[in-house]
Structure 1
Amino acid sequence: MKKVNGEAIIQAFERFSPKSLAFDGDKIGLQIGTLSKPVANVMITLDVNEQIVDEAVEKGAELIISHHPLIFKPLEHVRTDSSYGRAVQKLLKHDIALYTAHTNLDNAKGGVNDLMAEALGLQQTDIFVPAGEDPLKKLIVFVPEEDADQVREALGEAGAGHIGDYSHCSFNAKGTGAFKPGDSSNPHIGKQGEMEFVNEVKVETVYPHSIEKTVLNAMKKAHPYEEVAYDVYDLAMDGEVYGLGRIGYLPAEESLERFCERVKNAFDISSVRAVGDLTAGVKKVAVLGGDGNKYAMKALHKGADVYVTGDIYYHVAHDAMNEGLKMVDPGHHTEKIMKKAVADRLNTMIKEKQAGTNVFVSEADEDPFQFV
């Protein structure tokens, strides 16, 4: 089967984790290599280091998609007598592209924080720290009747026309398109210099601004005309709010001690750090992947009984204890939950195209901590 081009893989990935959801200044996107090549194997990983790159080389990966950036600060040098420098060298030597999705994958619907909330069994979840709104846009495109189905399908597959639990939504009206091809044109219908009248369909659909490039590219690729006639409008309707963390409820109240066991089981870890009375009950839970120290008091103000996040500082824990907020620290590494979810989604998209590209998760142990 034909391999999928690297650019097409990332376009599929960005349908559920668009770059526009990332915070300003975040180091995301293509960091090393090129996407302009066929890709047989894609490896999904939380972190990138020399060990991870060695695994990618061994397993024949031509593209790595990571959550944490390898290049976060401006490079002053790439010294191959350091592990960091060797990782960069090996990526370049073996022509392995590295693409990173950091806070955009945190903020995305179905991203890191939704996955963590789901693993904990939270119900009635909402965004914990709203970061912005993804405004809605309307696309109107005029298509010959016989080509309308393929354009509608392409738009739906690109993510346009999703309203609630419905996909591929559009409004369609028939009419007559008129045009005169110029001397240098190569018309799909009609002849140069002659007026042409065509039975066309006006297709209207909506999409979030974050995927505009993907939607418009899909529309143009599926459209038969050399020059596509289309309009794009801003809508007054509210777009979907995105942001960090999730806050929701357990099915029933349970002790903090029992909740700690829930956290360990959810994230496949052996231990956690806990703040608060282990016999006290918890029901409303805030969770934020990675380092969420600065949002501890926000969890308290939002009425959370317990706040789950990584890398909790001593003084943050002390303040939370004094204010009555319980906390559970399962470590930063719990964000590894994104690996299987991203691989599964990409594999599904690729199989729908009947392509021969395989997406798999890194098996290397990325957690730098051991408990002794």
Structure 2
Amino acid sequence: MSQPTSRRGLLFGGAAVGATALLAACTSNEPAEAKEEKNDAAPAAEESGKHVTIGFAGPQADHGWLNAINVQAAQRAKKYSDITLEKTEGSNDTATQIGQIDTLINKKVDVLVILPADGKALTQAGLKAMRAGIPVVNLDRIFDTPQAYRCWVGGDNYGMGLNAGHYIGEKLKDKKNAKVIELSGPDSLELTKQRTQGFDDALKNYPNIKKVARQAADFTVESGQAKMAQLLQAQKSFDACWNHDDDQGVGALRAIDQAGRDGFLMVGGAGARSAMDHIKADDGVLKATVLYPPTMAASAIDLARALGQGKGISGLSESEIPTQLTLYSAVVDKDNIDQYLPNGFK
């Protein structure tokens, strides 16, 4: 462990190693499988240390995944006797979230964890905190400049698409002239473009497979149902569908049931409990989902605590925490569903 250091020195001095790692590597020396199976396992560095007040600012929990982010952060903080968590009221309004972050800065919290409603729009808030000597853990939606955070932790959107494409590709590799469709998220979001790019790049490895249609929904049940209905009407037959988001997938499955369609496999995205329940029951076309783990919020709390106490990460040689932590997007199907089911979000 490093010797105690000033917050300003921690922010702007020294060489912090950048890392792309599994979520479990951040918090434990246990194998990744054990960590994913039960997220309530004791965090690393369990021994109490210097008390740390962590400010947490996130968007409104108007989506199952965002609600799971809040739950994961709060539950993780409760596991430490040396943490006080100061949470803001979630908001999707940029001005409101900036004001909430200003309040946390004025309270002189030790570390800030920020999941911005809009990474670009909230960059100045991150910079303000860093310049005030408060290290920032930027959660998922990244700020415009690395000067606005000490550490970024988030999911791998490109990897989601890549793993979905390879999963479908392996299932269809022996089928001649296989056809797939894609139900994406909003095209206005960079994450959607990354997921689609990963999917398309994976399919290039399977020359027998052609993507024949794509529709963009907006991560809601209603849009998923409407856009899936359009795809089903336009495509009388296909072999697989990748849906970017399990919440909109609820609507997509509804459209599939109403149309009486089957004979293809569907892969979802994010890791909702409803999707996992269907996968375990094997009661329809949904055969797998690709994770975008909300457990990243628990890791953000671990990282914030380490920053506040001037510590590194158990299992790594460096005395400082990494500058980046990208979570792996595992594919969950009937073969490993029991391992991941406890972390399915509602």
Structure with higher Rg: it is 1
Q: TM-score with structure 1 length normalisation?
A: 0.28
TM-score by structure 2 length? 0.29
More helix per residue: 1 or 2? Answer: 2
Higher relative contact order (CA 8 A, sep 6+): 2
